[in-house]
Amino acid sequence: MTAPVRCVLLSSTLDLAGLFGPVLAGIADAVEAVPHPAPEPETVRLALAWFPPADAFARYPDLRAVCSIAAGVDSLLACPGLPAGVPVVRVVDPEQALAMSCFVLWHVLGHLRRFRTYAENQARALWRPLGQRAAGEVTVGLLGYGRMGARVAADLAALGFPVLAWSRSPRAPEAGVDLLSGESGLADLLPRTDVLVNLLPLTPQTRGILNAGLFARLKPGATLVQVGRGDHLVEGDLLAALDGGRLAGAALDVFATEPLPPAHPFWRHPKIVVTPHEACDASPQAVAAMLCATAQAISAGLPVPNAVDVARGY
Ligand code: NDP
């Protein structure tokens, strides 16, 4: 039996031992989790990280992989101390993609069936049928067609929504989904979109992509579902687009500053729904499974699974 792989827990914002303690105990024969600063740092091969402290990695000279606790790795790649050449691994979990799909469906169906207006009418005891629309009348544009986007697209298409999806690289067509890529693909998608769902990773190319220029190209009266990362959005541009009537509403799950400060105008805006970055967390079990698979590959001298392309940023 191989010795457990030593894994240091690195976060400046979360208590990883508290969050993942029970599942880490369950995989102790494969992964030995140790707090930072770990004794005998030269024996540490693995790090589990989320917003790691900038200087933490310098202590561990023989790391073989750094694992995110999430599907996104932007908080790791942004760390100036991240050692070059060490694979960065993300959580890939179909259950998480399903949870994301449920979250997006909640907002798309709410838009289709005008949930917000019914809630306002109920508060006024107002019996006013608003008329029904078919799913086929609401086109959903997805920015990002990766693990999350593909699941969301398939579920929306199965319900009858026309789906346009945008990725970096061109793809073969899939049932019920119109796949677009590049600048021309975005130019095609935006004016046809009633509900825009952001499922992009945060990279230098996608930072600030949700801005006034993009909103101006959407179908007038479109709605935004923002589940990527807070820094995709230029917040002032969203408020202007909502207040000017260009956009009808926005559901925001991620923010430039989290937790969203109590005085932030998003909280009380009548056209905005705020949720606290929990469209779909990676489950502790999925994090444990990722650590075990990574540790197994390290012990066998094999490439670690689900490593991102660090140069590409996702
Ligand atoms: P993937 O890496 O599987 O997919 C990313 C998709 O974005 C791919 O289709 C990729 O294109 C596309 N993309 C990347 N850069 C560009 C670009 N410059 N132009 C056009 N398309 C681009 O990621 P996931 O689907 O797993 O997750 C996506 C993001 O969702 C995460 O990075 C995270 O930010 C967010 N997320 C949010 C959660 C929440 O709770 N709010 C939970 C989980 C994830 P290509 O296919 O060509 O590579």
Total Cβ atoms within 10 A of residue 14: 14
- Dist. CA 98 → ligand 1 center (Å): 15
Identify each DSSP E strand in the chain by its residue range.
Answer: 5-11, 31-35, 46-50, 65-68, 88-89, 140-143, 163-167, 177-181, 195-198, 222-226, 247-252, 272-274
Instruction: Determine if ligand 1 sits within 6 Å of the CB of residue 71.
Output: yes
Identify each DSSP E strand in 229-310 by its residue range.
Answer: 247-252, 272-274
Instruction: Answer for the pair 135, 160: CB distance below 8 angstroms, yes or no.
Output: yes
Question: Which residue has its alpha carbon closest to ligand 1 atom 22?
Answer: 168
Catalytic residues: 229, 277
Assign 196 to helix, strand or coil.
strand
Structure tokens at 27: 């995989």
| CATH number for the domain that contains residue 42 | 3.40.50.720
- Dist. CA 72 → ligand 1 center (Å): 8
Check whether residue 103 and residue 17 sit in a common domain. no
- Considering the domain boundaries, does residue 269 fall inside one? yes
Write down the pLDDT at residue 8. Answer: 98
Check whether residue 111 and residue 202 sit in a common domain. yes
pLDDT, tens digit only, all 314 positions of the chain: 689 999 999 999 999 999 999 999 999 999 999 999 999 999 999 999 999 999 999 999 999 999 999 999 999 999 999 999 999 999 999 999 999 999 999 999 999 999 999 999 999 999 999 999 999 999 999 999 999 999 999 999 999 999 999 999 998 888 999 999 999 999 999 999 999 999 999 999 999 999 999 999 999 999 999 999 999 999 999 999 999 999 999 999 999 999 999 999 999 999 999 999 999 999 999 999 999 999 999 999 999 999 999 999 99
Instruction: Determine if ligand 1 sits within 6 Å of the CB of residue 148.
Output: yes
Check whether residue 242 and residue 293 sit in a common domain. no
Check whether residue 259 and residue 191 sit in a common domain. yes
Check whether residue 183 and residue 66 sit in a common domain. no
Instruction: Answer for the pair 180, 155: CB distance below 8 angstroms, yes or no.
Output: no
Closest atom of ligand 1 to CA, residue 253 = 41
**Which of 163, 128, 137 is CA-nearest to residue 149?**
163
**Which of 295, 292, 286 is CA-nearest to residue 97?**
286
- Dist. CA 149 → ligand 1 center (Å): 7
Write down the pLDDT at residue 229. Answer: 98
Count the domains in the chain: 2
Question: Which residue has its alpha carbon closest to ligand 1 atom 41?
Answer: 227
Check whether residue 266 and residue 132 sit in a common domain. yes
Closest atom of ligand 1 to CA, residue 200 = 7
* 20 burial type by CB count under 10 A (0-12 exposed, 13-18 middle, 19+ buried): buried
Question: Which residue has its alpha carbon closest to ligand 1 atom 43?
Answer: 71
Can you name the residues that pair with 251 across neighbouring β-strands? 225, 273
Instruction: Answer for the pair 165, 142: CB distance below 8 angstroms, yes or no.
Output: yes
CA end-to-end span of the chain: 34
- Considering the domain boundaries, does residue 305 fall inside one? no
Write down the pLDDT at residue 173. Answer: 81
Q: Which residues contact 112 (CB under 8 A, 6 or more apart)?
A: 133, 135, 138
For CA atoms 154, 144, 277, 35, give the dihedral sign: positive
Q: What's the domain range around 47?
A: 5-93+282-300
Write down the pLDDT at residue 2. Answer: 85
Check whether residue 44 and residue 136 sit in a common domain. no
Check whether residue 153 and residue 166 sit in a common domain. yes
- Considering the domain boundaries, does residue 143 fall inside one? yes
Check whether residue 41 and residue 183 sit in a common domain. no
DSSP string, 175-187: TTEEEEEHHHHHH
Instruction: Answer for the pair 94, 151: CB distance below 8 angstroms, yes or no.
Output: yes
Omega before 87 within 30 of 0, i.e. cis: no
Check whether residue 259 and residue 111 sit in a common domain. yes
- Considering the domain boundaries, does residue 314 fall inside one? no
Check whether residue 59 and residue 107 sit in a common domain. no
- Considering the domain boundaries, does residue 224 fall inside one? yes
- Considering the domain boundaries, does residue 213 fall inside one? yes
- Considering the domain boundaries, does residue 307 fall inside one? no
Write down the pLDDT at residue 234. Answer: 99
Question: Which residue has its alpha carbon closest to ligand 1 atom 23?
Answer: 146
Instruction: Answer for the pair 4, 270: CB distance below 8 angstroms, yes or no.
Output: no
Instruction: Determine if ligand 1 sits within 6 Å of the CB of residue 314.
Output: yes
Question: Which residue has its alpha carbon closest to ligand 1 atom 17?
Answer: 168
pTM of the model: 0.97
Structure tokens at 61: 């000279």
Check whether residue 13 and residue 83 sit in a common domain. yes
Write down the pLDDT at residue 308. Answer: 98
Phi and psi at residue 104, in whole multiples of 5°?
A: -65, -40
User: What is each CA distance from 208 to 70, 214, 215, in whole angstroms?
Assistant: 21, 10, 12
Closest atom of ligand 1 to CA, residue 149 = 25
Instruction: Answer for the pair 76, 68: CB distance below 8 angstroms, yes or no.
Output: yes
- Considering the domain boundaries, does residue 229 fall inside one? yes
